[in-house]
């Protein structure tokens, strides 16, 4: 029987707002293994790891590290017990050199260390682990892959015996990923335990010894990697019963409303996020883009809305080429975009009326830029009536509305503009069952009225319920497009994990 | 503008909708004032003064001469707006000081050479606006922090002004000051019901109302407010937060320049070589802007309140033989206490936006 490094037993996490993130999860990692933690968005992977790292406290449950029962008050306690975490977003000081960053974190466990001691220790460590990093280069001048190596060395310098990597390959190029895998193998030889959070099936299959699959806050199983196939993993990850059923007439697709041709878009860091996406959207149809978060969905939506620069490709709205149109021109030409974040779509400190005006401003505009708030009142009242928004007044700041009502404002202000094409991203994220159903029915109703709807969602249930056609996106590429009947859950799971099924 | 009928109804509706916000704000102001006066009183006790007497002098003498009170509040209204309008759009304009200098200087020179008050005011507004825009351009197109630019520009303009009023534009008959504003270009003081109301004050109030209108009833103002509260939302709606920054600094600078002209044409009529007439008005405006919660109408009242404290402070010096620092100190404590809650939230959200922008 291998010796366990981490034992998390009966872990339950209920947030103050009643959301159950984890339900009675047992998670055991053996010493010296590479353990994959697999699951969709919202499965609870990150929550579980943040509990292990002491960032949040479990509502119930017990944690043992190397057999010793522990209670962490914060990450500093976890660090003392030899746990290290490498986040997707690095925690390095960008304007410091590598050695300065290492020294900074080294001081946390060894306050008397001098920078030359840190350097000596770091050099020895790089020698044993076989990781090479230029110590005197400023961090922001280094490629992302090298920065990640610095993060790993940083945790090892703190004598980490258990290393948690949160989606480590999501920021890396294929070559950098290969390098990372070599490093992981080397760490394993040195007896370091690695927990590898991911949703990429190929990678988890390739590098791990065992895999734990989470789904909706529950543990599905822990399996030995050698004994399962990618198909098994995909099934475990996505298998579900559909809870909500929505009455839906068969779609009557009409004219082609939106055409996207070979679209290329970069993210904030200048890395390609959308790589040659081509799609066709018809009137009276909901095209669902399925995929795990961070696979280029937001960049795709923003590029269509004109918020993000397109550096290659074309977008056509009916007969018009809108590739070079500004955001406002696109909106005025019949495009609507409901973003995935209410913090973006709404100005929380402003009133409902002012938020409705945000995308309707051209409709209340008078001479010399004068805004006719009387007309604004009318539009706002229409949104409140049609979408059944519960609010004391149209002058109430939207920050006082519930999430569901906020979402209704975001969707409603687009509907009253009567556009032809809707880009809707994560329309029901964080909403309760009632609000979710309302929004979904609204989308179906719009489809029946002949609107073209591009639904971008990481919620597979939503995609399956609403879509007349599904496209799966993975790492900025469309893996497959087809009717819902053409996909099994398993196949969707594989595609979302980057594996072409056959 | 809202139609007249139902105006009060609308006002009531708006108030009800934001009752929670307004209630908190009122509580905040009350608590801050209490804390400010208490802290001030404690400090006075330690320094050996009778707090009750000091406060009595401060308030009874600060607010007796209404005409003088309003006259002195005039430039403060405009420098506060110079801070607050950019603040609404998410930039920190501490350059109101130098924007006022430029307005004062250009107003003075145009008045002196052309003898025309409206032209002098226009020149002052353009000058202030240009300086504000300069800082904003560096921020938007070169990524240079507006606070740093403004601090440097403030000192450059301070010494430039000092040189100009002691050198080329010095008054040969009265060497302690600059050339004067001729009678024909001065803004008159009106006597209304026995109170002397400065024309410049009336102009400042009109200016503040115009800016209030721009902020709340025009597209420009709306875009500025959206950009300031949430740049990501602005981009989503197809607005440019960068352009909003430029516009807000243009308006802010114009306001400070206007304030400079009002000061010179309506009150001091020349600039003394020690620059005591102009120095500090821009900085004081920051506190007033925060006190007035970045609302042009709130700012009018905050400026009057503040102006009273400044005047009263001089009487404290006079009657209680206190050093001038004492009243400055006291005003500082009161104003800091009053603006801390708002300033705190403002600065926090400013920092957050900066982070998000990166």
Residue A443, pLDDT > 80, answer: yes
CA dist., res. B197 & res. B202, Å (int): 8
Beta-bridge mates of residue A285 = A452
pLDDT of residue A501: 60
At A235, is the pLDDT very low, low, confident or very high (cuts 50, 70, 90)?
confident
CA dist., res. B160 & res. B155, Å (int): 8
Q: Quick check: A115 and A151 in contact, CB under 8 A? A: no
Q: Where are the beta strands (DSSP E) in A140-255?
A: 162-166, 193-198, 210-215, 218-224
Q: CA triplet B115, B117, B121: central angle to 5 degrees?
A: 130
* B17–A354 CB contact, under 8 Å: no
* B233–A395 CB contact, under 8 Å: no
DSSP classification of residue B175: T
pLDDT of residue B253: 96
By Cβ distance, the residue of A328, A369, A392 closest to B17 is A392
Q: Provide, as residue numbers in chain B, all residues whose Cβ is less than 8 Å from the Cβ of A326.
A: 238
Residue in chain B closest to A304 (alpha carbons) equals B236
Both tokens of residue B258?
């206007």
* A373–B236 CB contact, under 8 Å: no
The larger pLDDT score, comparing residue A321 to residue B21, is at: A321
Ordered structural domains, chain B, with CATH? 48-322 (1.10.3470)
Q: Give me Rg for the CA atoms of chain B.
A: 21
| Cα dihedral B342, B347, B352, B358 sign | positive
Burial B218-238 (b: 16+ CB within 10 A, else e): bbbbbbbbbbbbbbbbbbbbb
* A344–B238 CB contact, under 8 Å: no
Shortest alpha-carbon distance between residue B213 and chain A (Å) = 9
CA dist., res. B17 & res. B10, Å (int): 10
Q: What is the ipTM of this complex?
A: 0.83
Shortest alpha-carbon distance between residue A346 and chain B (Å) = 6
Residue A259, pLDDT > 70, answer: yes
At A140, is the pLDDT very low, low, confident or very high (cuts 50, 70, 90)?
confident
Q: How would DSSP label each residue in B2-36?
A: --STTHHHHHHHHHHHTHHHHHHHHHHHHHHHHHH
DSSP classification of residue A225: G
Burial A404-426 (b: 16+ CB within 10 A, else e): bbbbbbbbbbbbbbebbbbbbbb
Q: pLDDT per residue over A46-82, tens digit each?
A: 889 999 999 999 999 999 999 999 999 989 899 999 9
By Cβ distance, the residue of A345, A347, A359 closest to B229 is A347
CA dist., res. B161 & res. B107, Å (int): 13
How big is the A-B interface in CB pairs under 8 Å? Answer: 82
The residues, any chain, with a CB within 8 Å of residue A261's CB and separated by 6 or more, are A278, A313, A314, A315, A316
Q: Which residue has the tokens 């115009």?
A: B210
> Does an H or E element contain A336, and which?
strand A335-338
Residue A320 CB neighbours (<10 A): 13
- The residue among A443, A7, A44, A439 whose CA lies nearest residue A216 is A44
pLDDT of residue B353: 64
Q: Provide, as residue numbers in chain A, all residues whose Cβ is less than 8 Å from the Cβ of B235.
A: 307, 327
Shortest alpha-carbon distance between residue B184 and chain A (Å) = 34
Read off φ and ψ for residue A316, nearest 5 degrees.
-120, 130
Which residues of chain A are at the B interface, by a Cβ-Cβ cutoff of 8 Å? 305-307, 326-328, 330-331, 337, 339, 341, 343-351, 354, 357-359, 361, 365, 368-371, 373-374, 392-397, 400
Shortest alpha-carbon distance between residue B295 and chain A (Å) = 15
Q: pLDDT per residue over A415-436, tens digit each?
A: 999 999 999 999 988 777 778 8
Which residues of chain B are at the A interface, by a Cβ-Cβ cutoff of 8 Å? 2-3, 13-14, 16-18, 20-21, 217-220, 222, 225-226, 229-230, 232-233, 235-238
CA dist., res. A491 & res. A479, Å (int): 11
Q: Where are the beta strands (DSSP E) in A372-500?
A: 421-425, 452-457, 469-474, 477-482
By Cβ distance, the residue of B14, B229, B236 closest to A307 is B236
Mutate which: A93, A355, A359, A361, vs B, most B CBs within 10 A: A361
Q: Quick check: A305 and A489 in contact, CB under 8 A? A: no
Residue B328 CB neighbours (<10 A): 15
What average pLDDT does this structure show over A85-97? 88
CA dist., res. B320 & res. B331, Å (int): 16
Q: Provide, as residue numbers in chain B, all residues whose Cβ is less than 8 Å from the Cβ of A394.
A: 17
- In whole numbers, what is the pLDDT of chain A averaged over residues? 89
Q: Provide, as residue numbers in chain B, all residues whose Cβ is less than 8 Å from the Cβ of A306.
A: 238
Residue in chain B closest to A395 (alpha carbons) equals B17
DSSP classification of residue B50: -
Shortest alpha-carbon distance between residue A81 and chain B (Å) = 32
Mutate which: B217, B237, B352, vs A, most A CBs within 10 A: B237
What average pLDDT does this structure show over A248-256? 85
Q: Provide, as residue numbers in chain B, all residues whose Cβ is less than 8 Å from the Cβ of A337.
A: 236
Q: Which residue has the tokens 């002691």?
A: B166
Q: pLDDT per residue over A98-117, tens digit each?
A: 999 999 988 888 888 899 99
pLDDT of residue B356: 56
Q: Quick check: A466 and A455 in contact, CB under 8 A? A: yes
* B235–A327 CB contact, under 8 Å: yes
Residue A109 CB neighbours (<10 A): 13
CA dist., res. A219 & res. A213, Å (int): 6
The residues, any chain, with a CB within 8 Å of residue B135's CB and separated by 6 or more, are B93, B95, B146, B149, B150, B153, B249, B253
> Does an H or E element contain B198, and which?
strand B195-198
Q: pLDDT averaged over consecutive 10-residue blocks of chain B (358 residues)?
A: 59 71 75 81 85 86 89 95 94 93 95 92 96 95 92 95 91 89 88 86 95 94 94 93 95 96 92 89 89 90 90 86 75 76 74 61
Beta-bridge mates of residue A280 = A259
CA dist., res. A103 & res. A111, Å (int): 10
* A395–B217 CB contact, under 8 Å: no
The larger pLDDT score, comparing residue A460 to residue A36, is at: A36
Q: Provide, as residue numbers in chain B, all residues whose Cβ is less than 8 Å from the Cβ of A359.
A: 237
What average pLDDT does this structure show over A5-32? 89
pLDDT of residue B358: 45
Q: Provide, as residue numbers in chain A, all residues whose Cβ is less than 8 Å from the Cβ of B233.
A: 344-347, 358
* A370–B13 CB contact, under 8 Å: no
- The residue among A329, A269, A256 whose CA lies nearest residue A299 is A269
Pinpoint the alpha helices (H) of A173-270.
174-189, 201-207, 230-238
By Cβ distance, the residue of A305, A347, A371 closest to B219 is A371
Q: Provide, as residue numbers in chain B, all residues whose Cβ is less than 8 Å from the Cβ of A380.
A: none
By Cβ distance, the residue of A349, A369, A400 closest to B219 is A369
CA dist., res. A215 & res. A493, Å (int): 12
Checking phi first, is residue A24 left (phi over 0); if not, alpha (psi -120 to 50) or beta?
Answer: left
* B218–A370 CB contact, under 8 Å: yes
Q: Which residue has the tokens 């070559």?
A: A175
By Cβ distance, the residue of A349, A357, A392 closest to B229 is A349
* A344–B225 CB contact, under 8 Å: no
Both tokens of residue B141?
């197109």
Shortest alpha-carbon distance between residue B132 and chain A (Å) = 22
Mutate which: A304, A306, A340, A371, vs B, most B CBs within 10 A: A371
Q: Quick check: A269 and A140 in contact, CB under 8 A? A: no
Shortest alpha-carbon distance between residue A277 and chain B (Å) = 22
By Cβ distance, the residue of B18, B233, B237 closest to A397 is B18
Residue in chain B closest to A396 (alpha carbons) equals B17
CA dist., res. B160 & res. A356, Å (int): 49
Q: Provide, as residue numbers in chain A, all residues whose Cβ is less than 8 Å from the Cβ of B14.
A: 395
By Cβ distance, the residue of A341, A347, A393 closest to B16 is A393
pLDDT of residue A485: 85
Residue in chain B closest to A327 (alpha carbons) equals B238
Q: Quick check: A160 and A190 in contact, CB under 8 A? A: no
Shortest alpha-carbon distance between residue B220 and chain A (Å) = 7
Residue A363, pLDDT > 60, answer: yes
| Cα dihedral A51, A55, A57, A62 sign | positive
Q: Quick check: B88 and B224 in contact, CB under 8 A? A: yes
Residue in chain A closest to B219 (alpha carbons) equals A369
- The residue among A357, A200, A171, A351 whose CA lies nearest residue A267 is A171
- The residue among B95, B234, B191, B85 whose CA lies nearest residue B151 is B95
Which class for B69: exposed (0-12), middle (13-18), buried (19 or more C-beta within 10 A)? Answer: buried
SS3 content of chain A, % helix, strand, coil (to 5): 40, 25, 35
* B217–A397 CB contact, under 8 Å: no
């Amino acid at each position: 029987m291998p010796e366990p490094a981490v034992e998390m037993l009966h872990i339950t996490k209920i947030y103050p707002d009643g959301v159950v993130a984890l339900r009675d999860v047992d998670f055991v990692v053996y010493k010296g293994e590479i353990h994959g933690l697999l699951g969709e968005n919202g499965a609870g992977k990150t929550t579980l790891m943040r509990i292990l790292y002491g960032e949040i406290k479990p509502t119930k449950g017990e944690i043992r590290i190397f057999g010793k029962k522990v209670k962490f008050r914060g990450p500093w306690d976890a660090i003392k017990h030899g746990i290290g975490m490498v986040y997707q977003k690095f925690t390095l000081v960008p304007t410091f050199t590598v050695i300065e960053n290492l020294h900074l974190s080294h001081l946390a466990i060894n306050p008397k260390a001098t920078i030359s001691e840190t350097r000596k220790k770091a050099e020895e460590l790089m020698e044993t682990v076989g990781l090479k990093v230029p110590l005197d280069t400023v961090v922001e001048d280094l490629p992302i892959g090298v920065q990640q190596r610095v993060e790993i060395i940083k945790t090892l310098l703190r004598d980490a015996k258990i290393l948690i990597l949160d989606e480590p390959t999501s920021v890396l190029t294929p070559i950098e990923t290969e390098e990372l895998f070599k490093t992981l193998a080397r760490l394993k030889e040195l007896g370091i335990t690695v927990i590898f959070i991911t949703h990429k099936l190929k990678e988890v299959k390739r590098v791990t010894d065992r895999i734990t699959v989470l789904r909706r806050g529950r543990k599905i199983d822990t399996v030995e990697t050698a004994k399962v196939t990618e198909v098994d993993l995909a099934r475990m990850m996505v298998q579900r019963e559909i809870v909500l059923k929505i009455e839906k007439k068969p779609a009557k697709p009409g004219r082609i409303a939106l055409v996207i041709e070979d679209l290329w878009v970069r993210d904030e860091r200048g890395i390609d996020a959308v790589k040659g996406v081509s799609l066709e959207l018809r009137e009276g149809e909901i095209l669902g883009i399925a995929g795990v978060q961070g696979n280029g969905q937001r960049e795709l939506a923003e590029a269509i809305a004109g918020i993000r620069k397109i550096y290659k490709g074309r977008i056509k709205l009916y007969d018009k080429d809108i590739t070079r149109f500004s955001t406002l021109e696109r909106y005025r030409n019949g495009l609507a975009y409901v973003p995935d974040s209410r913090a973006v779509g709404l100005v929380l400190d402003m009133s409902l009326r002012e938020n409705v005006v945000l995308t309707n401003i051209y409709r209340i505009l008078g001479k010399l830029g004068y805004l006719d708030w009387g007309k604004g009142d009318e539009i706002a009242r229409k949104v409140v009536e049609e979408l059944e928004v519960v609010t004391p007044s149209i002058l109430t700041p939207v920050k006082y509305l519930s999430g569901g009502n906020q979402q209704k404002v975001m969707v409603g202000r687009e509907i009253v503009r009567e556009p032809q094409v809707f880009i809707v991203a994560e329309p029901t994220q964080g909403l309760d069952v009632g609000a979710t159903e309302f929004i979904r029915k609204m989308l179906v109703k719009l489809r029946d009225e002949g609107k073209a709807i591009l639904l971008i969602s990481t919620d597979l249930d939503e995609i399956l319920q609403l879509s007349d056609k599904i496209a799966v996106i993975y790492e900025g590429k469309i893996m497959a497009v087809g009717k819902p009947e053409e996909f099994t859950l398993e196949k969707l799971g594989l595609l979302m994990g980057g594996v072409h099924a056959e | 503008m809202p139609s007249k009928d139902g105006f009060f109804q609308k006002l009531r509706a708006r108030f009800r909708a934001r009752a929670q916000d307004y209630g908190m704000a009122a509580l905040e102001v009350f608590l801050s004032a209490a804390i400010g006066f208490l802290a001030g009183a404690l400090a006075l006790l330690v320094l050996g003064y009778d707090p009750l007497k000091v406060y009595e002098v401060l308030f009874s003498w600060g607010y007796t001469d209404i005409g003088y009170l309003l006259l002195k509040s005039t430039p403060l209204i405009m420098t506060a707006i110079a801070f607050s309008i950019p603040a609404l759009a998410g930039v920190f304009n501490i350059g109101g000081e130098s924007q006022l200098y430029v307005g004062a200087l250009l107003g003075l020179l145009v008045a002196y050479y052309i003898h025309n008050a409206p032209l002098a005011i226009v020149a002052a507004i353009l000058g202030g606006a240009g300086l504000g825009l300069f800082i904003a351009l560096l921020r938007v197109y070169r990524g240079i922090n507006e606070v740093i630019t403004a601090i440097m520009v403030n000192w450059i303009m301070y010494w430039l002004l000092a040189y100009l009023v002691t050198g080329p534009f010095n008054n040969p008959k009265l060497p302690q000051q600059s050339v004067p504003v001729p009678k024909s270009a001065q803004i008159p003081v009106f006597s209304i019901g026995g109170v002397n109301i400065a024309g410049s004050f009336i102009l400042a109030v009109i200016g503040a109302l115009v800016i209030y209108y721009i902020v709340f009833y025009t597209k420009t103002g709306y875009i500025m407010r959206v950009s300031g509260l949430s740049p990501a939302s602005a981009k989503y709606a197809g607005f440019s937060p960068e352009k909003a920054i430029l516009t807000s600094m243009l308006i802010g600078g114009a306001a400070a320049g206007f304030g400079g002209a009002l000061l010179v044409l309506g009150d001091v009529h020349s600039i003394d070589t020690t620059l005591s007439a102009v120095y500090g008005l821009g900085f004081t405006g920051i506190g007033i802007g925060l006190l007035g919660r970045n609302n042009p109408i709130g700012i009018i009242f905050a400026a009057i309140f503040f102006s009273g404290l400044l005047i009263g402070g001089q009487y404290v010096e006079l009657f209680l033989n206190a050093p001038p620092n004492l009243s400055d100190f006291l005003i500082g404590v009161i104003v800091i206490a009053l603006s801390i809650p708002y300033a705190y939230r403002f600065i926090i959200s400013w920092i957050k936006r900066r982070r998000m922008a990166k």
